[in-house]
Copies of this chain bind each other. A is one copy, B any other.
Amino acid sequence: MKVIRSAQNKQVKEWKKLATKKGRQKQKAYLLDGWHLVKEAFMADINIKLLLMTESFKYIDEIEAMNKNKYEIIVISEEVANHLSETPSPQGIFAVISLENTHDDETFLQGAWLMLDSVQDPGNIGTMVRTADAAGFSGVIFGDGTADVFQPKVVRAMQGSQFHIKVLTGSLNKWIQQMHTQHVPVFGTELNPDAKPYDTVGKFRDFAVVMGNEGNGMHEELLKSTTHNLYIPIKGHAESLNVAVAAGILMFQLKA
């Protein structure tokens, strides 16, 4: 097995670049950090390009049993692991994953979809993908202006849900128009008591719900293009809900 000990190594520098959008696009790959995520990738039968593992990694036997020599494993030093990881104490296992084509080349949408309109916080975004998975959604569409799907903090918060449901990127307007032609309801969300209370429209098998930016909400022109816009009534004195919490309440309420 190949061993790399220096964080100055040329290959390590390339892997480090996977933390940036530019690096991911150039190498058509992103990095998984941690045992739970790497296991999820194996279980989902995802295209793993490469595994990186420290000598002291706790589950070497398990990973070799799962891998069955299918993917190359490179041994790295603790120094390299610390350099690559964004967590304070990395577990010593990484996988370089092929970026499948996640662009909006799909022509038919079934099931429930979460759409993100310029959502910014990576932790919130990852949590929403995880919640969409738990709620039985078909996928999440990252609209223009939303943080990148495969940035490290989003990947950490998704907890592997990108292997269970579809994660697409593209213009929300285009998707919404397509859903209208198929008579699939699209629900916008706004902090506006004039909108419909979220628990009065029923439950659906095929639909989409759109979450807006943390500070500014959904774009005005998207709000105008939905079937209905929904509102979660605030009963106390808080100004708003955290966007991931609001998305969770809506997804579990609306999904049949």
Residues of chain A whose beta carbon lies under 8 Å from any beta carbon of chain B = 123, 127, 130-137, 159, 161, 164-165, 232, 234-242, 244-249, 252, 255
Contact = CB atoms under 8 A, between A and B. Distances in A.
B159 A235 contact: no
Contact of A242 (B244, B246, B255): B244
Contacts of A161: 236-238
A242 B136 contact: no
B240 A134 contact: yes
Contacts of A159: 238-239
Given A248-B245, A248-B249, A249-B249, A236 B165 contact: yes
A166 to B, nearest CB: 12
A248 B253 CA distance: 12
Contacts of A165: 236
Nearest to A236: B133
B133 A238 contact: yes
